[in-house]
Amino acid sequence: MTLRDILNKLLGRQPASAAKARERLQLVLAHDRTDLSPDLLDQMREEILKVVAKYVEIDLEGGAVSLETEDRMTALVANLPIKRTLSGEIKIKEQSTQETITSVAEEASE
Amino acid sequence: MTLNTRVILICSGKGGVGKTTLTANLGISLARKGSPTAVLDADFGLRNLDLLLGLENRIVYTAQEVLEESCRLDQALVKHKQEPNLSLLPAGNPRMLDWLKPEDMVKIVDMLSQQFEYVLIDCPAGVEDGFRNAVAASKEAIIVTNPEVSAVRDADRVIGLLNTHGVKPVQLVLNRVRPKMMESQEMLSIEDVTDILALPLLGLVLEDEQVIVSTNRGEPLTLIGSQSPAARCYSNIAGRLQGEEIPLIDPAKEGSGLREKFRRLMQTKIF
Ligand SMILES: Nc1ncnc2c1ncn2[C@@H]1O[C@H](COP(=O)(O)OP(=O)(O)O)[C@@H](O)[C@H]1O
Ligand SMILES: [Mg+2]
């Protein structure tokens, strides 16, 4: 360390660099670990919602699909509130929606 | 005879962080503690484990001849004179990289496992074929890193790959710790690194000029029973590997003595 470094520190000109290193590492690692671009994640989210919507009625507004990293484990977390019927049962879509299902599948495979 | 051999990969991703130095010192330390130990130089491209151990002039055959079956394993093994519990299996010609397969590494390590309690594999830098070959033959791993952004990032990458290959346990050695810089928060702290990498800490190794001196001589610090800071760290790590409970060195308590302060004062650059 040079004299100037000492002076800088005494005068509080530069914050210690370890905090900066930590912050930069956390950002770059979150990216390294998932290896998924935001665009790809968006696309995946849309397709997942479509697939789930084939079977149950979900609240599209309240739904969220995201990647979470903790302790080296990256998890795809989908939070999809399912609309219930009055009797409290999960509302299952009727089979008459065959048309929509195929069109959804087509779209998804594009 | 079948031993419950521990096959430990010593890897880092980034080069120059201290893998080979750790392999040499750990090998000597484990051998001194009575465990028959083999160190395997898997860095075929840039071999120098032989040099750090001072065995470079005693190599006759290498892993290459063993695989080609033009010599027996015990002909290729170089036994350390002062520490006969330690043997080196030298790396062959760099051209081995062209044909070596993961199965070859497995074969070599299986042979070593017949007669040694510990097999330490000095892994090449990078995450390409050399690394993959070495991983294939390893059961557990030690990740060596430095408290620096690039080393930690590369370590993270390697940890991910070890996880997918089912190597377990993976433990961390944090090398080149500078207490003074950590104290002034100009270096990532030990917790920073263990938190980010989410690995158990097997030990830390202090930055120590004696490491270079011992490299010059080809006599690892643990061989000559040195009490220098890094030497103590290396033998603590060996002890922990063998299941001893040894508390971590507290970097904050290192080098705060008067002599150390004087040394630092003398190192202060004015211009
Ligand atoms: N704790 C330490 N203190 C000082 N120098 C060190 C320390 N550990 C390693 N070095 C030096 O760092 C350099 C790289 O070490 P090496 O073990 O060859 O790394 P790698 O095998 O990972 O490429 C060598 O010059 C070595 O002497
Ligand atoms: Mg090396």
CA of B185 to the centre of ligand 1 (A): 23
pLDDT band at A105; cut points 50, 70, 90: very low
Query: What's the gap between Cα A31 and its chain centre?
Result: 12
Using beta carbons and an 8 Å cutoff, which residues of B are at the interface with A? Answer: 148-149, 152-153, 156-157, 159-160, 163, 182, 184-189, 192, 196-198, 268-271
* B202: phi then psi, degrees, rounded to nearest 5: -80, -30
SS3 B205: strand
Summarize the confidence of residues A55-83 as an average pLDDT.
76
Whether B156 and A18 lie within 8 Å, measured CB to CB: no
Tell me the longest C-alpha to C-alpha distance in chain A.
Answer: 80
Where is pLDDT greater, at A14 or B46? B46
Mutate to test the pocket of ligand 1, among B39, B53, B211 (most ligand atoms within 8 A of CB): B211
* Least confident piece of the model among A6-15, B133-142, B249-258: A6-15
- Cβ atoms within 10 Å of A36's Cβ, excluding its own: 14
Beta carbons of B43 and B122 less than 8 angstroms apart: yes
Rounded to whole angstroms, the Cα distance separating A12 from B202 reads: 36
* Least confident piece of the model among A50-59, A62-71, B20-29, B244-253: A62-71
Q: Tell me which amino acid residue B265 is.
A: L
Q: What is the pLDDT of residue B215?
A: 97
pLDDT band at B267; cut points 50, 70, 90: low
Rounded to whole angstroms, the Cα distance separating A43 from A45 reads: 5
Q: What is the mean pLDDT of chain B?
A: 93
**A90 near B CB under 8 A:** no
Where is pLDDT greater, at B65 or B263? B65
CA of B122 to the centre of ligand 2 (A): 7
Minimal Cα–Cα distance from A24 to chain B, Å?
8
Q: What is the mean pLDDT of chain A?
A: 70
Q: What is the pLDDT of residue B26?
A: 98
Domain ranges of chain B: 6-267
Q: What is the pLDDT of residue A16?
A: 82
Q: Are strands B86-89 and B78-79 parallel, antiparallel or unpaired?
A: antiparallel
Residue among A76, A45, A80 at smallest CA distance from A60: A80
* Least confident piece of the model among B1-15, B17-31, B203-217: B1-15
Beta carbons of B11 and B144 less than 8 angstroms apart: yes
Q: Tell me which amino acid residue B21 is.
A: T
Mutating which of B196, B197, B199 best tests the A interface, going by the most A Cβ atoms within 10 A? B196
- What's domain B6-267's superfamily in CATH? P-loop containing nucleotide triphosphate hydrolases (3.40.50.300)
DSSP of B152-204: HHHHHHHHHHHHHTT---EEEEEEEE-HHHHHTT-S--HHHHHHHHT--EEEE
Residue B170 β-bridge partners: B141
Strands in chain B per DSSP E? 6-11, 37-41, 78-79, 86-89, 118-122, 140-145, 170-177, 201-206
Interacting residues of B211 by C-beta distance below 8 A, sequence separation 6+: B21, B221, B230
- What share of chain B has pLDDT > 90, as a percent? 86
Q: What is the pLDDT of residues A72-87, one digit of tens each?
A: 666 778 888 887 655 6
* Least confident piece of the model among A26-40, B106-120, B216-230: A26-40
Question: Which residues in chain B are contacts of A1 at CB distance < 8 A?
Answer: 268-269
Q: What is the pLDDT of residues B21-45, one digit of tens each?
A: 999 999 999 999 999 999 999 999 8
Q: What is the pLDDT of residue A66?
A: 74
Ligand located closest to B173 CA? 1
Mutating which of A17, A31, A35 best tests the B interface, going by the most B Cβ atoms within 10 A? A17
Question: Would you say the C-alpha torsion B246, B247, B248, B251 has a positive or negative sign?
Answer: negative
